[in-house]
Chain A
């Protein structure tokens, strides 16, 4: 999986979590919270959906890695690839 594909996977989750938001102009390098109406429960949703859909665990200490799409890609792409290697 590339970092762009990883970002797409995260955006797909956000689309379900924030269904009223327009995601077409999301900036990768800006914090998601600064662009979208997301609260702490929504971030827990992102963590839950990564677990449910992709089998990826994000420990609480790493939640800050999900701040922006860029940081998500940096942090999650290796995890996606590790999951793919398992299956």
Chain B
């Protein structure tokens, strides 16, 4: 990979099972999932991943009233990432800071709420909120962060279905390399559980998880998996050029090693393992690595019957019999599918492996689907594997967008 080296210097997150990286990681290592029952409009009780961060930690009540849940999650994650990084925004030119936030979609929550609200007034549109447009423009989550922090550099979202979290990081790395900004707040967010449409859509597809126990509803690779648990979440990082991070003595979590974004060009919803494998291979080449040098693969697998098998095909095609050098896990088994946040959150949950040498397991696998029995898959209990040098993070999305991001242990 050419250009200045880019490093991760701060992490801010809210997941259904943790509101900081230490809390999230601790729960991933001790097998604590974060899926619970919620009441979904028109549909009733469904399992979902709910974030329990304190919105008032950083925002005033009025900001919360005017803004969106997506904006609030973004602001929480941005403030947490900045605090973690030790960066002082007041001491920097605000126009040299970029905000790049991946979203699966945006605006469905607010549109559904407005339609529901006017239904109480005979669908008379004079009761439609004047906040609807600023709440539903696609850049809303990034724009709210810009307003909240007074950042005057580029601030926008990246629409990339469920690959979006990785794309936030990839795009930020590119912008830092181009010299467009000196600091990036980047990653992905989702507020999807507040819209019934996403649940109803997956239900109509036959891809919505159902289980008597919500904590067991998200079960990638298990023979009894039956679909996706819809979740909200957010994870934003501070990314900097290595020389800038070194100059200020920053803590460095990892270095961006390589990436690939490609497209299936084959179906609206069905994955394409051939294109996924191509993307994974290209990312590995981009990082200057061989497959055997990838020590940990965090899978995208969402627990749909077909999708998990197809990703396993792609991984098998790239890594084959890996001789025990590549470990594989999945984070959705704890938190469901955090949509636009998924890639960014799932990477964060694995970053501490560089320090502790432990791979968090994929939980809820009571009976491994033989078609998903990948060599190196870590099931149900964490595994101490020694030194991890590289982590590869897959995130795929509808309309056939695939993203693979590789980070490596930072070595000066």
A binding-site residues for B, Cβ under 8 Å: 16-20, 37, 41, 44-45, 48, 51-52
Please indicate the chain B residues that have their CB under 8 angstroms from the CB of A41 in the complex: 66, 130-131
- Say whether B121 faces chain A, with CB atoms less than 8 Å apart: yes
Please indicate the chain A residues that have their CB under 8 angstroms from the CB of B57 in the complex: none
Residue of B nearest to A41 (CB): B130
Please indicate the chain B residues that have their CB under 8 angstroms from the CB of A20 in the complex: 60-62
Please indicate the chain A residues that have their CB under 8 angstroms from the CB of B121 in the complex: 52
- Say whether B116 faces chain A, with CB atoms less than 8 Å apart: no
Cα A78 to Cα B129 with chains together (Å): 26
Cα A41 to Cα B121 with chains together (Å): 21
**A48–B127 touching, CB < 8 Å:** yes
24 contacts between A and B (CB under 8 A): A16-B65, A17-B62, A17-B65, A18-B62, A19-B60, A19-B61, A19-B62, A19-B65, A20-B60, A20-B61, A20-B62, A37-B62, A41-B66, A41-B130, A41-B131, A44-B130, A45-B130, A48-B127, A48-B129, A48-B130, A51-B126, A51-B127, A52-B121, A52-B127
A-contact bits for B310-341, CB 8 A (1 contact / 0 none) = 00000000000000000000000000000000
Residue of A nearest to B65 (CB): A19
Cα A16 to Cα B60 with chains together (Å): 13
Chain B proximity of A81: nearest CB distance (Å):
22
Chain B proximity of A27: nearest CB distance (Å):
21
Please indicate the chain B residues that have their CB under 8 angstroms from the CB of A17 in the complex: 62, 65
Number of B residues whose C-beta is below 8 Å from A? 11
Chain B proximity of A11: nearest CB distance (Å):
16
Which residues of B from 160 to 215 have beta carbons under 8 Å from A? none
Which residues of B from 111 to 129 have beta carbons under 8 Å from A? 121, 126-127, 129
Please indicate the chain B residues that have their CB under 8 angstroms from the CB of A18 in the complex: 62
Cα A20 to Cα B62 with chains together (Å): 6
Chain A proximity of B134: nearest CB distance (Å):
9
Residue of A nearest to B134 (CB): A41
Interface centre among A16, A17, A20, A44 (most CB of B within 10 A): A20
Report the tally of A-B residue pairs with Cβ distances under 8 A.
Answer: 24
Please indicate the chain B residues that have their CB under 8 angstroms from the CB of A45 in the complex: 130
Residue of A nearest to B128 (CB): A48
Q: Which 3 A-B pairs have the closest CB atoms?
A: A19-B61, A44-B130, A20-B60
Residue of B nearest to A38 (CB): B62
Cα A51 to Cα B127 with chains together (Å): 8
Please indicate the chain B residues that have their CB under 8 angstroms from the CB of A52 in the complex: 121, 127
Cα A43 to Cα B126 with chains together (Å): 15
Cα A79 to Cα B90 with chains together (Å): 50
- 12 more A-B residue pairs beyond the given contacts A19-B60, A45-B130, with a C-beta to C-beta distance below 8 A: A19-B61, A19-B65, A20-B60, A37-B62, A41-B130, A41-B131, A44-B130, A48-B127, A48-B129, A48-B130, A51-B127, A52-B121
Please indicate the chain B residues that have their CB under 8 angstroms from the CB of A48 in the complex: 127, 129-130
Cα A16 to Cα B65 with chains together (Å): 9
Which residues of B from 41 to 73 have beta carbons under 8 Å from A? 60-62, 65-66
Which residues of B from 129 to 151 have beta carbons under 8 Å from A? 129-131
Cα A52 to Cα B127 with chains together (Å): 7
Cα A19 to Cα B67 with chains together (Å): 14
Cα A17 to Cα B131 with chains together (Å): 13
Chain A proximity of B121: nearest CB distance (Å):
7
Cα A44 to Cα B61 with chains together (Å): 18
Cα A45 to Cα B127 with chains together (Å): 11
Chain B proximity of A58: nearest CB distance (Å):
12
Please indicate the chain B residues that have their CB under 8 angstroms from the CB of A19 in the complex: 60-62, 65
Cα A44 to Cα B133 with chains together (Å): 14
Cα A20 to Cα B65 with chains together (Å): 11
Chain A proximity of B334: nearest CB distance (Å):
34
Chain A proximity of B115: nearest CB distance (Å):
15
Residue of A nearest to B62 (CB): A20
Residue of B nearest to A16 (CB): B65
Chain A proximity of B165: nearest CB distance (Å):
31
Please indicate the chain A residues that have their CB under 8 angstroms from the CB of B127 in the complex: 48, 51-52
Residue of A nearest to B61 (CB): A19
Chain A proximity of B59: nearest CB distance (Å):
10
Cα A18 to Cα B65 with chains together (Å): 9
Please indicate the chain A residues that have their CB under 8 angstroms from the CB of B65 in the complex: 16-17, 19
Residue of A nearest to B66 (CB): A41
Cα A54 to Cα B62 with chains together (Å): 23
Please indicate the chain A residues that have their CB under 8 angstroms from the CB of B66 in the complex: 41
Cα A41 to Cα B66 with chains together (Å): 9
Cα A27 to Cα B133 with chains together (Å): 34
Cα A70 to Cα B394 with chains together (Å): 61
